[in-house]
């Protein structure tokens, strides 16, 4: 296992290299540059700026410089947010996005798996149909619709639970207070709940038809024991494949949710960086996202092997 | 004797997209304490559904009605918690196909202990000790280690023993064994039946033995019921049913089983050898477990030589893993060989180019084991049948090809109107006829049948074997007939070759081999063959091989029957001519 892990992580280096290279040259192929504005800068200032950021050198040399610095962990300054380095921007934003994403995914797994199993056990009954219909809604309704609706319901009017009235803040991070997290986490989790419930139901329906489930029933086991001990592990496999990329997307934040709730995550950097031709910032988030995908996919493969002993890691 | 289980007028219906299927029709049966009831029937006869229905284990679309009484208490339609006090405790089940019937991600030990902990309220420690005792009882060596293994790490025979251990650990009154030996090798089948016999004799467990194989039933059952299309057509004491069958279907089932004395047509005018195989070797690299495990060589075919004459049938017999399919594929140039020569009509195929070989395929064709899996599911059977002809004789017009396809379909007993049907619309036997038609349409000189009838019901099997024999008589083609089933091989073969771990242990004219087997492995194989003769089966003393086949990776495995040469690890037993045309490998 350790040797496998080492080999996989070593294998990630060329992958990252290819991603960096592609991202670097594609970004530069896009027209315009970081200092193009509606009002043109005086040529000498622009030349100075470009010289300061090495943009006057041939492209291939810039690439070499970027690569050698990146290897040392220096991702350069942001072209637009001039007071910050890319590392600082990501370092401040990622924990916010990751915290939201983890909570959202945790919530989604808990609810999604339960709903999926329940639907599978009541296959083709009204419970199944209603869970699947609601799940379809969860997938199709975009977050920019659910976010304002939930804000209206829970933030503006408030709800009363056990005689206590809750009114949640409609935005802001507030150092990650739970009251501030409820709405964005819920909005992020809703589509995930839907996807996970559907995946879980499909896999569970399939597994419940397997011969070994019949054996388990013939042993006189209760339905709960059959699901937990005999069916769940096999049924979780499709979910694991989804979770690798799914979790990476969630952890790196969502532009829409962060904008609506005014959260200082890194979701917005993807879009802003690309629009502003903030080369270093885009490269930074690409590397961050790619590394995360690689690590999570690796973890998914490990989880796969743990869940299914027939899988041998090669 | 009081009835343990009494089923009266049981009906089972399935709601399917094609309408209602009446799978079990008014079936009634009873099983007394420590009695073995055999239920015989072919696939689709409802024999398995009968018992699944009785214990509430039908699939979601199944409905059962009638009466099922266990010790006088009605259990049909009882709520699951009530059934669960019975299932796995007093009544347990052994299913066919132990690989898919055991939970793949649960260790053997945990699966065996599970029912005991649940039903008998024993501690996990005690359950573990009992589980190990059960593994010993079903003769699984190194039980402590096995407890920690997963099902896929065991062989098919071992897995079925685990199933039996699992079904026996709670000390049930009744075990329902649903095709417990199907798909197992003959020698393993004999071992499993031996365990079931000891359950019946020593533990006084009642057994409902469900099987399509009259031979399996003959040795074990006290009474027999025959099922067909969901109905019980005959029932009675085992001797009556076997020796004086009253229903035509029972007679047909008994007649379909190959018996001694039936021999294929003798080869007339043996011509020049058609095919000569000389010291053929095929090996595969196998990577050892672990990350830096070294690669070892698995010798699947380890120096096999034989000659096949025109019009002759060579039977190839051996258990799973003996290399019989690999041999077929290497001879037909479907797999690269690692050594030796294949000579076809005097021409060494090493000298032939890929294109030459493609053209030569007109002369040698193959029929595979699983008829459904070896046909393209998205291609109408007519297209599948015509394809080799179109590829090998491209000058033919479409009309001629269609005409030939219809002709060969008719010849193999398929309605030519089915030309546009898809494989899933046909039965297993019909699909195998398609496989035969596809091979025969180019008029090959040699046909290789690789377990071509193994997956079929006995009655269908008999029809296909008869068809192959007729086709051979008409076309004078040669046959290599590969099977694990010695009695089927006997029906068709002029000569028989017995393989063991990639080598020939015995090769002889058919009658000599069956009458006077010289190698201990051949004798063990023959002794494991079941006959539909209850008296003979009960009286029979078997030469049981113990345990599994040794691993082909084990360098000592080749010397299993030649212990005196164990000090020479690379030694290969030589073939010695013990009688004219009768060769047997050296053994102690």
Helix A279-307 / helix A237-251 crossing angle, nearest 10 deg: 160
What ipTM was assigned to the predicted interfaces of this complex?
0.81
Residue A309 — pLDDT band, cuts 50, 70, 90?
Answer: confident
CB B485 within 8 A of CB B454: yes
Mutate to test the interface with A, among B104, B176, B285, B293 (most CBs of A within 10 A): B104
Is pLDDT above 80 for A257? yes
Residue A121 — pLDDT band, cuts 50, 70, 90?
Answer: very high
Residues near A76 by beta carbon (within 8 Å), at least 6 away in sequence: A53, A66, A69, A85, A86, A280
Q: How far is A302 from chain B (nearest CA, A)?
A: 15
Is pLDDT above 70 for B280? yes
CB B187 within 8 A of CB B524: yes
How far, rounded to the nearest angstrom, does the alpha carbon of residue B261 sit from its chain's CA centroid?
Answer: 23
Is pLDDT above 70 for A295? yes
Q: How far is A120 from chain B (nearest CA, A)?
A: 12
- Residues in chain A with CB shorter than 8 Å from the CB of B289 are 312
Out of B97, B103, B119, the one facing A216 most closely (by C-beta) is: B103
Mutate to test the interface with A, among B55, B80, B103, B183 (most CBs of A within 10 A): B103
Across the interface, whether the CB atoms of A220 and B292 are under 8 A apart is answered no
- Residues in chain B with CB shorter than 8 Å from the CB of A219 are 87-88, 92, 114-115, 118, 166
pLDDT, residue B290, reads 55
Out of B57, B92, B100, the one facing A212 most closely (by C-beta) is: B100
Across the interface, whether the CB atoms of B291 and A3 are under 8 A apart is answered yes
- Residues in chain A with CB shorter than 8 Å from the CB of B106 are 229-230
Out of A221, A223, A233, the one facing B105 most closely (by C-beta) is: A233
DSSP track, B200-250: HHHH--EEEEEES-HHHHHHH-SEEEEEETTEEEEEEEHHHHHHS--SHHH
Q: How far is B181 from chain A (nearest CA, A)?
A: 16
Buried b / exposed e along A73-100 (16+ C-beta atoms within 10 A): eebbbbbbbeeebbbebbeebbebbbbb
Query: In whole angstroms, how far apart are CA A294 and each of A19, A56, A74?
Result: 11, 34, 21
Tokens 């035509």 belong to which residue?
B248
Across the interface, whether the CB atoms of B104 and A219 are under 8 A apart is answered no
Residue B186 — pLDDT band, cuts 50, 70, 90?
Answer: confident
What's the rounded Cα separation, in Å, for the pair B574 and B505? 9
Across the interface, whether the CB atoms of A220 and B102 are under 8 A apart is answered no
pLDDT tens sequence across A69-117:
988 888 888 888 878 898 999 999 999 999 999 999 999 999 999 999 9
What's the rounded Cα separation, in Å, for the pair B372 and B368? 10
Model pTM? 0.82
Across the interface, whether the CB atoms of B105 and A309 are under 8 A apart is answered yes
pLDDT, residue A113, reads 95
- Residues in chain A with CB shorter than 8 Å from the CB of B292 are 3
Q: Rounded mean pLDDT of B150-160? A: 88
3-state secondary structure of B346: coil
CB A84 within 8 A of CB A284: no
Across the interface, whether the CB atoms of B88 and A220 are under 8 A apart is answered yes
Out of B86, B89, B103, the one facing A212 most closely (by C-beta) is: B103
**Sheet of strand B231-237: strand arrangement:** B91-94, B174-178, B206-211, B36-40, B223-228, B231-237
**Residue A213: HSE in the Cβ half-sphere, 13 Å Cα cutoff:** 21
CB A215 within 8 A of CB B99: no
Q: How far is A130 from chain B (nearest CA, A)?
A: 20
CB B367 within 8 A of CB B431: no
Is pLDDT above 80 for B563? no
Mutate to test the interface with B, among A204, A215, A234, A309 (most CBs of B within 10 A): A215
3-state secondary structure of A224: helix
Query: What are the beta bridge partners of residue B495?
Result: B314, B509
What's the rounded Cα separation, in Å, for the pair B370 and B451? 8
A–B interface: beta-carbon pairs under 8 A: 83
Query: In whole angstroms, how far apart are CA B162 and each of B151, B152, B195, B260, B337?
Result: 9, 12, 12, 35, 37
Q: β-strands B273-287, B295-309: how paired? A: antiparallel
What's the rounded Cα separation, in Å, for the pair B368 and B371? 7
Is pLDDT above 70 for A173? yes
Average pLDDT, chain B: 88
Across the interface, whether the CB atoms of B291 and A220 are under 8 A apart is answered no
* Rounded CA Rg of chain A: 24
pLDDT tens sequence across B53-67:
999 999 888 999 999
Residue B408 — pLDDT band, cuts 50, 70, 90?
Answer: very high
Determine phi and psi for B175, rounding to 5 degrees: -115, 130
What's the rounded Cα separation, in Å, for the pair A16 and B513? 65
pLDDT tens sequence across B349-401:
988 898 999 989 999 999 988 888 889 999 999 999 999 999 999 999 989 99
**Chain A residue with the nearest C-alpha to that of B94:** A215
What's the rounded Cα separation, in Å, for the pair B241 and B41? 13
Helix B398-411 / helix B381-392 crossing angle, nearest 10 deg: 120
């Amino acid at each position: 296992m350790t040797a496998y892990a080492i080999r996989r992580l070593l294998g990630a280096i060329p992958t990252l290299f290819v991603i960096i290279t592609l991202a670097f040259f594609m970004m530069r192929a896009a027209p315009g540059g970081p200092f193009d504005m509606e009002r043109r800068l005086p040529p000498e200032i622009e030349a100075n700026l470009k010289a300061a950021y090495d943009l006057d050198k041939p492209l291939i040399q810039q690439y070499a410089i970027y690569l050698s610095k990146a290897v040392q962990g220096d991702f350069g300054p942001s072209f637009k947010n001039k007071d910050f380095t890319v590392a600082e921007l990501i370092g401040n934003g990622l924990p916010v996005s990751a915290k939201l994403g983890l909570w959202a995914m945790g919530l989604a797994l808990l609810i999604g798996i339960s709903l999926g199993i329940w639907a599978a056990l009541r296959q083709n009954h009204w419970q199944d149909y209603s869970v699947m219909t609601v799940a379809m809604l969860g997938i199709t309704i975009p977050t920019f619709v659910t976010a304002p609706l939930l804000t209206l319901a829970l933030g503006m009017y408030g709800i009363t639970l056990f005689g206590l009235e809750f009114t949640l803040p409609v935005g802001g991070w507030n150092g990650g207070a739970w009251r501030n997290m409820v709405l964005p986490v819920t909005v992020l989790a809703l589509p995930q709940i839907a996807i996970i419930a559907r995946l879980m139901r499909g896999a569970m329906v399939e597994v419940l038809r397997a011969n070994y489930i019949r054996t388990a029933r013939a042993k006189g086991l209760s339905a709960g024991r059959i699901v937990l001990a005999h069916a769940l592990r096999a049924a979780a496999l499709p979910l694991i494949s989804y979770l690798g990329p799914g979790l990476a997307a969630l952890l790196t934040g969502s532009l829409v949710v962060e904008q609506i709730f005014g959260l200082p995550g890194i979701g917005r950097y993807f879009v802003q960086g690309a629009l502003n031709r903030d080369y270093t910032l885009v490269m930074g988030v690409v590397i961050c996202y790619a590394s995360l995908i690689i690590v999570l996919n690796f973890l998914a493969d490990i989880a796969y092997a743990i869940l299914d002993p027939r899988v041998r890691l090669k | 004797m009081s009835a343990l289980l009494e089923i009266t007028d049981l009906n089972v219906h399935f709601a399917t997209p094609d309408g209602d299927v009446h799978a079990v029709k008014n079936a009634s049966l009873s099983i007394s304490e420590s009695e073995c009831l055999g239920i015989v029937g072919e696939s689709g006869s409802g024999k398995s559904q009968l018992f699944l229905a009785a214990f509430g284990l039908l699939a979601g679309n199944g409905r059962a009605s009638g009466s099922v009484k266990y010790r006088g208490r009605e259990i049909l339609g009882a709520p699951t918690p009530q059934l669960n006090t019975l299932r796995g405790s007093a009544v347990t089940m052994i299913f066919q196909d132990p690989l898919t019937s055991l939970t793949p991600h649960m260790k053997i030990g945990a699966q065996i202990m599970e029912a005991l902990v649940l039903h008998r309220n024993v501690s996990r420690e005690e359950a573990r000790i009992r589980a190990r005792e059960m593994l010993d009882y079903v003769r699984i060596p190194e039980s402590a280690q096995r407890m920690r293994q997963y099902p896929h790490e065991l062989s098919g025979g071992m897995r079925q023993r685990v199933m039996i251990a699992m079904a026996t650990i709670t000390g049930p009154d009744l075990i329902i064994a649903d095709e417990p030996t199907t798909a197992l090798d003959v020698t393993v089948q004999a071992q499993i039946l031996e365990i079931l016999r000891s359950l019946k004799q020593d533990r006084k467990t009642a057994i409902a033995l469900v099987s399509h194989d009259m031979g399996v039933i003959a040795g074990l059952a006290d009474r027999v019921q025959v099922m067909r299309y969901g109905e019980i057509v005959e029932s009675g004491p085992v001797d009556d049913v076997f020796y004086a069958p009253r229903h035509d279907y029972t007679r047909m089932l008994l007649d379909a089983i190959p018996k001694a004395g039936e021999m294929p047509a003798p080869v007339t005018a043996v011509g020049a050898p058609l095919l000569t195989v000389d010291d053929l070797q095929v090996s595969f690299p196998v990577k050892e477990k672990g990350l830096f495990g070294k690669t070892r060589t698995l010798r699947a075919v380890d120096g096999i030589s034989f000659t096949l004459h025109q019009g002759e049938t060579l039977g190839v017999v051996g258990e799973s893993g003996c290399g019989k399919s690999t041999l077929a594929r290497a001879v037909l140039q479907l797999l690269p060989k690692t050594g030796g020569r294949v000579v076809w009509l005097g021409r060494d195929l090493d000298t032939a180019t890929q294109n030459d070989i493609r053209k030569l395929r007109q002369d040698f064709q193959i029929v595979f084991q699983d008829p459904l899996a070896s046909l393209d599911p998205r291609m109408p059977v007519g297209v599948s049948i015509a394809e080799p002809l179109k590829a090998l004789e491209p000058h033919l017009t479409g009309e001629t090809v269609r005409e030939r396809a219809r002709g060969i379909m008719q010849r193999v007993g398929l309605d030519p109107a089915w030309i546009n049907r898809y494989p899933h619309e046909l039965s297993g036997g019909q699909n195998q006829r398609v496989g035969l038609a596809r091979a025969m349409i180019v008029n090959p000189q040699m046909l290789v049948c690789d377990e071509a009838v193994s997956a079929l019901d006995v009655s269908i099997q008999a029809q296909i074997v008869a068809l192959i024999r007729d086709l051979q008589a008409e076309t004078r083609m040669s046959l290599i007939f590969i099977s694990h089933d010695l009695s089927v091989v006997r029906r068709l073969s002029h000569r028989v070759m017995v393989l063991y771990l990639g080598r020939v242990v015995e090769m002889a004219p058919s009658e000599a081999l069956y009458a006077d087997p010289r190698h201990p492995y051949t004798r063990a194989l023959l002794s494991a063959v079941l006959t539909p003769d209850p008296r003979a089966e009960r009286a029979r003393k078997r030469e049981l091989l113990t345990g599994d086949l040794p691993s082909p990776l084990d360098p000592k495995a080749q010397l299993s029957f030649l212990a005196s040469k164990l000090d020479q690890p690379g030694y290969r037993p030589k073939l010695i001519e013990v009688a004219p045309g009768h060769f047997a490998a050296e053994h102690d």
